[in-house]
Amino acid sequence: MNTEAELTQFGLSEQELRDGLEEELLRAMRAEGDAPTVHAIAHAIARTLERDHLRIAEQLVQSGIRLGPGAH
């Protein structure tokens, strides 16, 4: 059975966001020559937000909400 915290959690948790952002930033910085460039930071944020949105979409579908063209 789900706990109340699990039922009210929408998207990634704060800890998952922090961990994901850190991992993505380190990965992007390595690709940029170990520098925290604006490009690396933007890449890390975009990838982390994408993971969050995918989690939200998954949660909506599991809740019975249809997504996509023609969904009413």
Sign of the CA dihedral 56, 61, 67, 72? negative
What residue ranges do the domains of the chain occupy? 13-62
Contact 25, 46 (CB under 8 A): no
Where does the pLDDT of residue 1 fall: very low under 50, low under 70, confident under 90, or very high at 90 and above? Answer: very low
Euclidean distance between CA atoms 3 and 45, whole angstroms = 29
> According to the model, what pLDDT value does residue 67 have?
78
Which residues, other chains included, contact 5 with Cβ-Cβ below 8 Å and sequence gap of 6+? none
Write down the pTM of the prediction.
0.76
The pLDDT tens digits of the residues spanning 21-64 come to: 999 999 999 999 999 999 999 999 999 999 999 999 999 999 99
